[in-house]
Amino acid sequence: MLTRQERTPIIPEEEQATKYQIIVNEDWCKGCGFCYSFCPREVLEKSTRFNSKGYYPPEAVNIDRCVGCGLCEALCPDFAIHVEEKKAKIKAKKGDK
Amino acid sequence: MQKAVLTGERFTQGDIAAAEGALAAGCRFFAGYPITPATEIAERMAYRLPRIGGRYIQMEDEIASCTAVVGASYAGVKSMTATSGPGVSLMNETIGLAVMTETPMVLVNVMRGGPSTGQPTEASQSDIMQAKWGSHGDYEIIALIPSSVQEMFDLTIQAFNLSERFRVPAFVLADEIIGHMRERLVIPPEDEIEIVNRKKPTVPPEEYLPFKAEEDLVPPMATFGEGYHFYATGLTHDERGYPVMDEEAQLALVPRLCDKIRKNADKITRAENTETEDAEILLVAYGGEARTALRAVKDARANGIKIGLFRPISVWPFPKEQLKEAAANAQHVVVAELNYGQLVGEVERVIRNEVPVHLIPRVCGTPHTPDELMKEIRRRIN
Amino acid sequence: MARTEIRLGGLGGQGVIKSAVIIGEAASIHDGKEAVQTASYGPESRGSACKAEVIISDAPIDYPLVLTPHVMVALSNDAFHKYKEDLSKEAIVIIDSDLVKAGKIKAGVRLYQVPAATTAHQVLKNPLVTNVVMLGAFTAISKAVTPEAMRKAIANAFPKYKELNLRAFDEGMQLGHKAMEQSTTKK
Amino acid sequence: MDRLVVISGIGCTGRASGYFAADSYHTTHGRAIAFASGVKVANPDLKPVVISGDGDLFAIGGNHFIHAARRNVDMLVLCVNNFNYGMTGGQMGPTTPDSAITVTSPDGNIEHPFNLVSVAAASGAVFVARWTALHARRLTKSIEKALQKKGFKFIEVISPCPTLYDRYNRYGSGLDVMKKYREISVIRNFTDPMKAEIDYRTRIVCGEFVDTEKPEFTDLLAQQSDRLQKR
């Protein structure tokens, strides 16, 4: 058995903090709350400002905790959320091809 | 492997001739549901299509059959179905969809007596108006009416050609007489058969607008799987194919769907005249009944009566100009049809009140005999 | 020959329609004449009286249905009595004398009796060829089609049983000639 | 992507086909599967995906569903089940539960609903799964898996209808319903579809229930045709 100190974290916190961004198309949001209610990492929260339809869109308050699982994007009934890896990573991906 | 085009002479049924005409026109998909008196077409297609690399599918009902035909046509294969009036009643929903999404397809309706289940094994021409107005909404359609086994073959090919050319469903409106009788059918060599295929887009996918019409009011048609990634819907749509519910969209679409047939009518309509030049009595008859009429005209001419026959071969669009010409010297126009009065309305619209238009209807399941017809004509004219 | 109207009557299942198709094919494809074949279709396909008709002509055929038959071939009693009423004057009527009892018939009609069923059973050992025996008799008596054309049409119609059916046809031709020697015209 | 054809019927889910950058077609009510059958038989290289609702696929289109499944025509059918006719204003339909309130069952539905996975399995589908809208990632995996398979595949997606059905039956907001799914749904792969319970209030059995192989219709058609052409 490895002790806790010996294990390498699978997702190093410092790397994680720069990895993902959540883009919200606020005006498409109808405020259903699915995204922030079911985010497994509590990244999203209901914001305090109205969008043009009068709903409170979500905002990523803990983006450094995001693991890019995409559940918020998948659950959004209005295609208003987009989760993507940050540009540095995207570049690397393109380079792979 | 069997040949798609069975060049040569044979003694065969009208229904079989329609199936062979379809194959000669390039039809490689048939979806249908059994119904008298059109079943022989499905039976022939079930036997022939797999032997020439085509596909036959018997669907669960006529709605499914017609819808599968629309799907197959969008998948790029020339497709058809065959049925009788009760089947067309079910298919009308999808005929509207096919009109709206500008789908080339052929429907053979071997008409029988109606309404409802009616007279399955008897002859009738009572679906003339159903073909035109069966589905809801404003639209135009093409319908050709054969008078012989040979014409079942020839007109089925023409129905395919017109349907492909104008991206509109085309009917072959046969009656039970022509569908079931046997005559000589001459199938020409394959290279002598004129085939028309739908226009294909000439622009790359990113510039393609699936419902942008060209000068002839017909848009080029991409098919599924070619990389155009287009969308089509039965809703009112714009040139991109996407639903748009406003006035302008409906105004841009519906008149074009009608006008592409109305304004090209001279390329679609066809009719045949027999002894019409000096005819004082113009008889109008079509399909199986036209053969009675032809005999009646010959007999009457032998007795010195100046009578001629105008036979519409396309009923939709109706050959207005040809009728006007044929009726130039007529003092009476007589319409004989195997229904209680359908095409007579179109004839009246053309003739207006210039000379009397008489109707000789017949709804009993058999055509008039030539003598009966002449008697009816005399009764109305004197 | 202007227009010959032929009617075949029998019971559903006796090959009445098939016989009419063979006559039509012989005339239109092999004799090079014009021919139209029609049938009355009822809901039953076996056992009820049925008829099939052929019109043969040198000129294109306009009206495709039979009005006054010039030739009638009857394979059943029911059909004979049901379909004999509108025969033309001097019509030729050929009956299978094993199956049809010729009762009253119009004056002027020439009646020919052919024992087709017995011949099919006893000579050809196959009752299924009764209709082809009748086709032989029809060809010999009516002369509406040539025997050569009929033989070709029969061969096309029964590719697997060509020999048997051609023999049945030949037997029928002979019976036809015999019947002509014995024929009577109703006065 | 060039082989994908997305086809939908009419209803809340009807417009789904318009959201794809792929060949797509929006049919009349109930006919998406019949259209897809035509597409697949005419060009077997294409991969039809039908996305539609419970009313469209199982009431007006029910006959097409069972027969396409019986024939095993290669297509994926995704049914978004919201237990009522949403687009036309919340009428009862073939999946509306016993005693549920809708505008056409204002005193409680007395009809017995279809269990869709059971209908699909009994009709012959080679892949049958059920997820709720909350199981977005498992659903995605099932869709991926189903697309790899040949034959008639069916996935039911239980979905909230917060503006109509859920409101009439006092189930709360869409979020409340989604939370309810989290509470009552259980994943039981390979449960007998007949026993895959679906009770909006107490228990929704989710999972992949059927995953089997059998000859596909257009393959059989092609084999038969090849054999006949060689004659």
ipTM (interface predicted TM): 0.83
Rounded to the nearest integer, the mean pLDDT of chain A is 81
Q: Residue C183: what pLDDT? A: 77
Which residues of chain B have a pLDDT value below 70?
none
Helices C130-142 and C16-25, packing angle to 10 deg: 40
In order of A63, A89, A91, the CA distances from A14 in angstroms are 12, 14, 19
- Structural domain boundaries in chain A: 19-96
Domains of chain B: 8-192 (3.40.50.970), 273-381 (3.40.50.920)
> How far does the CA of residue B39 sit from the closest CA of chain D (Å)?
20
Question: Is the model's pLDDT at A95 over the cut of 70?
Answer: no
Give the whole-angstrom CA distance, residue B46 versus residue B64: 17
Q: Residue A54: what pLDDT? A: 85
Question: Is the model's pLDDT at A1 over the cut of 60?
Answer: no
Confidence band of A97 (pLDDT split at 50, 70, 90)? very low
| DSSP codes of every residue in D32-99 | HHHHHHHHHHH-TT-EEEEEEEHHIIIIITHHHHHHHHHHT-SEEEEEEE-SSBTTTTSB--TTPPTT
Taking an 8 Å cut-off on Cβ atoms, the answer to whether D22 and B229 are in contact is yes
- Give the residue-averaged pLDDT of D61-69: 97
Taking an 8 Å cut-off on Cβ atoms, the answer to whether C36 and B180 are in contact is no
- Structural domain boundaries in chain D: 4-230
Give the whole-angstrom CA distance, residue D111 versus residue D97: 8
Contact yes or no for D46/D54 (Cβ under 8 A): no
Give the whole-angstrom CA distance, residue D24 versus residue D19: 9
What is the dihedral sign for C-alpha B112, B116, B118, B124? negative
Q: Residue A90: what pLDDT? A: 45
Q: Residue A52: what pLDDT? A: 87
Q: Residue A7: what pLDDT? A: 65
Q: Residue B244: what pLDDT? A: 96
Of B53, B229, B243, the CB nearest to D225: B53
- On chain B, the residues whose CB falls within 8 A of the CB of D43 are 75-77, 224-225
CATH number, domain of C102, equals 3.40.920.10
In order of B17, D160, D184, the CA distances from D180 in angstroms are 63, 10, 6
Confidence band of A91 (pLDDT split at 50, 70, 90)? very low
> How far does the CA of residue B291 sit from the closest CA of chain C (Å)?
5
Taking an 8 Å cut-off on Cβ atoms, the answer to whether C39 and B180 are in contact is yes
- pLDDT tens digits, C22-31: 999 999 999 9
Taking an 8 Å cut-off on Cβ atoms, the answer to whether A74 and D136 are in contact is yes
- Give the residue-averaged pLDDT of C131-142: 97
Q: How many domains does chain C have?
A: 1
Rounded to the nearest integer, the mean pLDDT of chain D is 95
Q: What percent of chain C has pLDDT over 90?
A: 80
- Give the residue-averaged pLDDT of A34-42: 95
The topology under which CATH files domain A19-96 is Alpha-Beta Plaits (3.30.70)
Q: What CATH class is the domain D4-230?
A: alpha beta
- Give the residue-averaged pLDDT of D56-82: 97
Q: Residue D201: what pLDDT? A: 82
Confidence band of A92 (pLDDT split at 50, 70, 90)? very low
Which residue does chain B place closest to C44, by CA atoms? B121
Confidence band of A94 (pLDDT split at 50, 70, 90)? very low
Q: Is D149 exposed, middle or buried (0-12, 13-18, 19+ CB in 10 A)?
A: middle
Nearby residues of A8 by Cβ (< 8 Å), 6 or more positions away: none
Q: What percent of chain D has pLDDT over 70?
A: 100
3-state secondary structure B96-163: HHHHHCCCCEEEEEEECECCCCCECCCCCCCCHHHHHHCCCCCCCCEEECCCCHHHHHHHHHHHHHHH
- Give the residue-averaged pLDDT of D194-216: 95
B contact chains, 3+ CB pairs < 8 A: C, D
Q: Best interface-test mutation with B: which of D73, D228, D231 has the largest number of B CBs within 10 A?
A: D228
Taking an 8 Å cut-off on Cβ atoms, the answer to whether B11 and C35 are in contact is yes
